[in-house]
Amino acid sequence: MQIDEPYIPPFIRRLMPSASEQDLLRATNNLRRYLSVMYRLFRELEVEQARADSHRPMLDDRFQSGGDNPPSQ
């Protein structure tokens, strides 16, 4: 399937009803770039969170059981 003209989402046309086709294309491209950056940022945050979770020390027995006595060694 070949698309002869660039796709402009309908909501952009609704947001900018009096814009020229050139302005609509520019808005579409800006939105795509913005979403791409946001996606990469959230992916990086997920990776950092996973890394932090894997290095977090495990709770010892007193916290897991709710007791006040330190675990015996």
Q: Is residue 29 part of a domain?
A: yes
Number of domains in the chain: 1
Residue 48, domain extent = 20-53
Q: Is residue 38 part of a domain?
A: yes
Q: Is residue 34 part of a domain?
A: yes
Could you give the CA distance from residue 20 to residue 43 in angstroms, rounded to a whole number? 35
Q: Is residue 14 part of a domain?
A: no
Q: Is residue 32 part of a domain?
A: yes
pTM exceeds 0.95, yes or no: no
Question: How many C-beta neighbours within 10 Å does residue 13 have?
Answer: 14
Tens-digit pLDDT profile for residues 19-40: 999 999 999 999 999 999 999 9
Alpha helices by DSSP H, listed for 18-70, are 21-55, 61-65
Q: Is residue 59 part of a domain?
A: no
Q: Is residue 48 part of a domain?
A: yes
